[in-house]
Structure 1
Amino acid sequence: MSNNASTSSNGNAVDAQNNSRTVSRKRKVHRACDYCREHRIKCQFDQPDICKHCLDWEIPCERVAPPPRDTRPRKRLMSKSLEAEDMQDIEPVYLGGTSISQLVWFFCPATAKSKLHALDVKYDLYRGALCDSDEQGLLVGRESKALKRERLGATSLNTALAKLAESVGAETVLQNLYDTASERIIPIFPVISKHESLINDQPDEKYWERFVEMHHNSAPPTPLPGIVRIIHCALAAMSREVPSDIRQNILSTLQNLLVGPELDRIRRTSTIASVQVLVSLTICDELSGNGISSSWLQLGEAIRMAQELALHRNISLDLVPLAQRNRRARVWGACICADRWISLRLGQACMIDLDMCDTPGPQAYPDHVKDFSSGRWSPSFRFLGELTQMSVLLGRVYKLTSSPYGLFKADDSSLLIAQTEIDMWVAQLPKAWPYSPTLQTYDAAELINVFCVALEFTLIRPFQWPVGAIPHHIIYRPAPQRWSVLVSRARQATAWAETASGMFCLDVWSNVTYPIICAFFVHIRMYEQSQTEEARSFIERTDDVIQGWAAILPDSPSRGKIAAMTKLLRETAGPTTSSPTNSLSIITPGGSLVDNWLETVTNGVPPMQNVGMPNSRNDNGVMSHENNTLDHLDLDLGAHLNAFGGDCSFDFVL
């Protein structure tokens, strides 16, 4: 009896299970009509041939259009094909002979070349990629993930600022960062002045304490984009004094805005404000999230905008008010500075041809000031004016000494004139750098000295560290005093970079990194020649500065690469196996540098000997070794001592 009961119960369970399967079977879904499908309306059929919506509205209910293609099974394959298409566009990038990656090769001893080659493999560097010379440039591979960015939904700037204030803990944190930028960043590179950085805000108490002066004509006719405030906060946040989580939050917010509609609006139309924003983004390579490559591209876009707006031309005051014309000159001067220094760092050709420009340089005083004699206004933009003059000289020296042709397209007169102009520019530098009656331009003298290291290094490098034989037609040699002055400058630069203010500038302004590494190369050569503990200590101290700079962003491949290379040179630095033929004597500086080179050239050929390279072609196209003196040069030095001459006529009002 119990067996029958259990059997019947099992049978009932099976029947119930079968019934449940039958009940849960999915009903056939009618295909939506064309109208409902097009308008995304739920299509319900009360009758077999017409849906409820079409019946109610008396619309023809048709099912003629083909159904949309279902791509769900193909999404994985489609994503792979899109990724493959992206990979097709990732070509290697070029670094020229003045790039740090290339300069390291010159200073690396032969015994350490294998270790340097291992770093090349790690960082995807391809030396020997150029046909004619392995020592004039290299190619760098790029990973696809470096170009991928997370594109978020369109977010307003106010929403981004509110979220940022919440993520960093308080709005006062952002205000403190902006105050730091106002005091320590804007004065040294005022592509956006303090007045312009206020945007729509009214000056607060701190503003009047620091800047005292304000004039409505020194502000732009329309406020700058609000993203300027985040850029300044991000620049200040790059300091190692700022906690890493705050820095990362600000950078993430800025980079998300840069890949969204905010930057699209800036790029859509050429305006002075757009130029200012794009140039500001090049101050620090990490702002855009893709290193110096992004800075290079954004600067090119800014320069094209500036040229479209004729910032490179001297516009008449009949058409443009005085304050606006001075603002145009200030922004164009910032474009020149950024172009020359980023081109030098990358070893690329400069983008601005100064032969096509006639605008005056940046005015030292606020944009609206016409009469400087009253003494009421401080020379707020004096540092930018001097930096622009230096950048013009740097561009000329860079073109003479560092082109792919080396010194073959240079001549003695151009080299002598460039050297003289550098010396005369240094001689007229001011002792004080006031930005306002109560604020000095932050570390202006020290920054000028640091940038002079790179300028002098670029002039001396082809003679002190020649890539090949010096052409026979080049009689010019740098005066011996220049080397000792460069060594002194390099030591001052290292000592300053160890201070808190030096570290701040190194963290915030990427262009400062290059001169510090040039100083590192100078210390290596000095140690090779002198073998003193003092010279060795400067190598170690400079490398410690570079390692500390790289440690701020441990995930940055560019900083890691530079730190690894300088560490390798520090470990392998030692005496030279043989004295190079083309070395400058190390002597105690004495007299002016201008007097020294005049004495050198009038005494005949300098002690640095030519290495059997022909110098010029005669009328028959045959290489000639004649006229190996400076008597054949037609130098009108007086015409060049008080003007830049050649590149552009810069009539600086200082």
Structure 2
Amino acid sequence: MPSSPARRLSPLHYEPAARLPGISSRLSTLGPSSRPVCLPCALPATLLSPIPPHLMMYGPHPGHTPDAAESSSGKRKRKARDKHSDDDDDGSPVEATHPSSSKALELKKRSKTARACDSCRSRKIRCDIIADSDPPSCQHCKQYHFDCTFFLPITETRFKKKRTEEDEKPANASSEPPRESSVLGPTSTAHLLHSTASIPSRLYETYDSRHHQTFEVSKSGDGLVRVEKPTLTEQQMSVPKPVDLHIEPQLVEQLLNAYFTDVAPILPVITLAELVALSSPPPILLYSMCLVAAARREVPQAVFDQIRYATNAIIKSEEVLSTPSLANVQALLILCMTGDGHSQFVPNALSALWVRLGAAIRMAQDLGLHRAELVKANDIELRRRVWGACLISDRWSSLVYGFPYMIDVHDCDVRLPSSGDSKDAYVDELVRLSVIGGRVMKTIYSPSGLTHVTDEMLHRLLSDIETWKTNLPEELRFNGAGSSQSAGILHLLYTSVCMIFWRVFMRISYSCPEHLKFALTIEQWSVLIQLTGDCIDWLDEHERVYDVWLLVAYAATSCAFVQYHTWVRRQDPQAVARLRKLRDCVRRWEASISPDHMSARRKTAEIITLLFEATQGPQLPLERPALNPTGGVKNKAPPTLEYKPDPTRPGSGVFVAQKDTKVEMDGITPGTIVHEGEPQSSPVQKTDAGMVNLTPLPTPGGPANVNPAMNLRQHPGQVQVMNVLDGNAQTSNNLADYAMTDTTFLEGIPGGMFDWGQWDSFFQRINHGATQAGQ
């Protein structure tokens, strides 16, 4: 991906006026030291330096350079291929010949290309190298403006579509052990790229090869994206460099200031007052805050690398992932805001983020953060906030990866973080939106997809999405590019939820199960176009939020998908202008850091640039996507349609069928008007809960439990011991009123297990009482 040359940044500027109260004084007493200073608080350096001094940190992963053994092995394999002709680049077999015809065979070998380029080998097509080209390039790559590369090993360039039903042994099975890999689900950016109906496969062939991506797909079109991880040998081939573990106290203080200024407001996990109150902050907690703050564009890469190395060393040496504590939960939640902090290799980094987030959630459950607060607890707000951050991170990371989430809110009875405090309304609304996003995942993108979903379920889910937006407090409402950071982030994530919800119902591109009538109309798609355009305008004014939280990069990419699809379907020049603006925003971030820095973030940024550059040349022919968007939804052959806007109704219009459409779309002849979707009518089908867990939205202004079922107060005598220490709770002398129980429930219980007559009388009394209550 082309990028502007990186500019070298000057050392961090230290501002004494921004010192943290209570911490800066302790930092100033440390002074210069000849031994490593890992953390800036009043802890002895021996306690804060669990990293062995002999460890090294590895630099960027260079191009693959086989050693002597690999070279000799490669020669033997090439001879075997020439002998058996099982991997010819042009696909033509070389038949066995008599010795007398050896000269003809030699001439045939000379006419072949010795090594196909990465792109041609991935597509298994003939690679015609252009004579006298420097650097070498082939006709195919020149025609489609691909990067013609030859640096990847042959085994890594076979990114072809694999049929899961076919159990065929590869023709060139390697003796090396198989590579480890991870998978990405239907809402990940990689899967969106491979399943969007308007994106031809030629656009992402080189992208797949560069990031070691392939996809496994069944005959029905359902499948997953698989990402190969580097082998241990390849990781060890990285050029090592020594690490100076000495981190100046002033630098750490500045990073902590930056964390509370730029990072903590995005995802509140710990407050400044809580940190200052800790007499001995755990090393992993401080390192995590410094590392995420160091992910900002103005921090030199060397600083980020040093802190990343130290953080990962502490996680291993201190057994952070297996030691439940509130500080460890907070540290892992903070670390999981960015992917690049977990490893320098992108597949390893993203896998580590997912695993560490899971460990944080399990620790939080082990500590009881998901249950009602104890009456004697004095850190209720802290516990609520940390559990809210767990739920937010769980839902959105699941969306980014396309994986199932871990937390079921029906297993919780903890309140929302703010308990009605208006100053924390942002966190409350983010939790509510996260719950809705989880419902979209569960309803539409589970393995069964839309197979067991009804129209009523979808109408109810859409209603809750819109209700969330309608009930936003005035200070959190989006008002254009000048909106506050909190309002802008909420609007960006809301738009991402809308995009994920609507994309499978574009019936021009996809076929939904026959029992569903729910569809996306042109007017609704126009609203989504406006939403994503507003988000791009806001990001252009607040581009610094792109530096830290991986969710922002994900949501920005989802906006790019909408604008690209709009350009393909409507040839809208405004969509191209918005894509350019988003591309420029990303490029400014890229230009401010080193080319080998933040590789995980760059992987997402490449998609945005890829989509924009696809709008600059002739439009490539549309083709059926490689993957279905979700279970039960199948891709259609792309019809040739021309969009005609309706000037009488803004955002409305029709698609008119063009030539050859009769072949591409069943029964539709040229000139036929095609409406994208049908006007939605009120739901008439009866809901069948089935496999879908529908969670009601917590009512704003009412009881605000994370579990909405706990808001119901229908049955007298329900136990209400939770939330006694709320600010709006009554005085402590009414504590007995909060611990209400139905004391008559156990009256008349039989004294013996086998006294059947008394048991019958007991259950008759209960059933009679339940019947009266129902009336």
Q: TM-score when scaled to structure 2?
A: 0.55
Deviates more, 1:189-198 or 1:96-105: 189-198
2:202 pairs, out of 114, 125, 135, with: 114
Task: Specify whether residues 583 and 355 from structure 1 end up closer, same or farther in structure 2 by C-alpha distance, changes over 3 A only.
Answer: farther
**Matched AA of 1:402:** Y
Instruction: Tell me the secondary structure at the aligned position of residue 565 of structure 1.
Output: helix
8 Å CA contact 1:312–1:358 kept in 2: the answer is yes
- Alpha-carbon deviation of 1:643? 4.7
**Matched AA of 2:190:** S
Q: Name which structure has the greater RCO, CA cutoff 8 Å, separation 6+.
A: 2
- Alpha-carbon deviation of 1:635? 11
Task: Specify whether residues 642 and 287 from structure 1 end up closer, same or farther in structure 2 by C-alpha distance, changes over 3 A only.
Answer: closer
CA distance in 1, matches of 2:342, 2:260: 21
Task: Specify whether residues 544 and 405 from structure 1 end up closer, same or farther in structure 2 by C-alpha distance, changes over 3 A only.
Answer: farther
- Corresponding position: 1:631 with 2:684: yes
Please name the residue that 1:519 is paired with.
559
Please name the residue that 2:436 is paired with.
393
8 Å CA contact 1:235–1:508 kept in 2: the answer is yes
8 Å CA contact 1:529–1:576 kept in 2: the answer is no
- Corresponding position: 1:446 with 2:482: no
CA distance in 2, matches of 1:342, 1:634: 29
Alignment of 1:29-40 (within 5 A): none
Deviates more, 1:307-316 or 1:340-349: 307-316
**Matched AA of 1:96:** G
2:350 pairs, out of 284, 292, 306, with: 292
- Corresponding position: 1:93 with 2:93: no
Please name the residue that 1:493 is paired with.
535
Please name the residue that 2:408 is paired with.
353
Give the number of aligned pairs: 474
1:458 pairs, out of 488, 500, 510, with: 500
Deviations 1:470-514 (A, max 9, x none): 112112234655433322221122122223xx3221111111111
Instruction: Tell me the secondary structure at the aligned position of residue 164 of structure 1.
Output: coil
- Alpha-carbon deviation of 1:316? 4.5
8 Å CA contact 1:494–1:541 kept in 2: the answer is yes
- Corresponding position: 1:175 with 2:253: yes
**Matched AA of 1:92:** S
Instruction: Tell me the secondary structure at the aligned position of residue 363 of structure 1.
Output: coil
CA distance in 2, matches of 1:354, 1:452: 20
Instruction: Tell me the secondary structure at the aligned position of residue 511 of structure 2.
Output: coil
- Alpha-carbon deviation of 1:466? 7.8
Please name the residue that 1:7 is paired with.
none
- Alpha-carbon deviation of 1:425? 1.1
8 Å CA contact 2:505–2:518 kept in 1: the answer is no
8 Å CA contact 1:343–1:350 kept in 2: the answer is yes
Which structure features the higher share of helix residues?
1
8 Å CA contact 2:329–2:364 kept in 1: the answer is yes
CA distance in 2, matches of 1:353, 1:476: 27
8 Å CA contact 2:493–2:555 kept in 1: the answer is yes
Instruction: Tell me the secondary structure at the aligned position of residue 285 of structure 1.
Output: coil
CA distance in 1, matches of 2:268, 2:531: 25
- Corresponding position: 1:426 with 2:469: yes
Please name the residue that 1:250 is paired with.
307
Instruction: Tell me the secondary structure at the aligned position of residue 184 of structure 2.
Output: strand
CA distance in 2, matches of 1:88, 1:480: 51
8 Å CA contact 1:278–1:302 kept in 2: the answer is yes
- Alpha-carbon deviation of 1:309? 2.1
**Matched AA of 1:633:** K
Alignment of 1:174-193 (within 5 A): 174-193=252-271
Instruction: Tell me the secondary structure at the aligned position of residue 94 of structure 1.
Output: strand
- Alpha-carbon deviation of 1:568? 2.9
8 Å CA contact 1:357–1:648 kept in 2: the answer is no
Structure 2 alignment gaps of length 5 or more: 1-68, 70-175, 478-482, 623-637, 653-673, 690-694, 712-722, 729-775
8 Å CA contact 2:582–2:608 kept in 1: the answer is no
Task: Specify whether residues 126 and 503 from structure 1 end up closer, same or farther in structure 2 by C-alpha distance, changes over 3 A only.
Answer: same
Task: Specify whether residues 444 and 642 from structure 1 end up closer, same or farther in structure 2 by C-alpha distance, changes over 3 A only.
Answer: closer
Task: Specify whether residues 457 and 115 from structure 1 end up closer, same or farther in structure 2 by C-alpha distance, changes over 3 A only.
Answer: closer
CA distance in 1, matches of 2:476, 2:207: 42
**Matched AA of 2:442:** K
8 Å CA contact 1:401–1:458 kept in 2: the answer is no
CA distance in 2, matches of 1:548, 1:580: 37
8 Å CA contact 1:491–1:519 kept in 2: the answer is yes
Instruction: Tell me the secondary structure at the aligned position of residue 416 of structure 1.
Output: helix
Please name the residue that 2:515 is paired with.
473
Larger radius of gyration: 1
Deviations 1:325-375 (A, max 9, x none): 33222211111111111111111111222232232222257xxxxxx6xxx
**Matched AA of 1:567:** T
CA distance in 2, matches of 1:239, 1:326: 29
- Alpha-carbon deviation of 1:540? 1.6
- Alpha-carbon deviation of 1:242? 2.3
CA distance in 2, matches of 1:173, 1:270: 29
- Alpha-carbon deviation of 1:468? 4.4
- Corresponding position: 1:483 with 2:525: yes
Structure 1 alignment gaps of length 5 or more: 1-76, 78-86, 166-170, 202-222, 366-371, 373-378, 435-440, 591-605, 611-627
Task: Specify whether residues 493 and 576 from structure 1 end up closer, same or farther in structure 2 by C-alpha distance, changes over 3 A only.
Answer: farther
Please name the residue that 1:241 is paired with.
298
- Corresponding position: 1:332 with 2:387: yes
8 Å CA contact 1:199–1:226 kept in 2: the answer is no
CA distance in 2, matches of 1:230, 1:539: 36
**Matched AA of 2:709:** S
- Alpha-carbon deviation of 1:557? 4.3
Deviates more, 1:345-354 or 1:560-569: 560-569
Please name the residue that 2:331 is paired with.
277
- Alpha-carbon deviation of 1:538? 0.8
Task: Specify whether residues 523 and 182 from structure 1 end up closer, same or farther in structure 2 by C-alpha distance, changes over 3 A only.
Answer: same
Alignment of 1:40-51 (within 5 A): none
Q: TM-score when scaled to structure 1?
A: 0.64
8 Å CA contact 1:463–1:582 kept in 2: the answer is no
- Alpha-carbon deviation of 1:248? 3.1
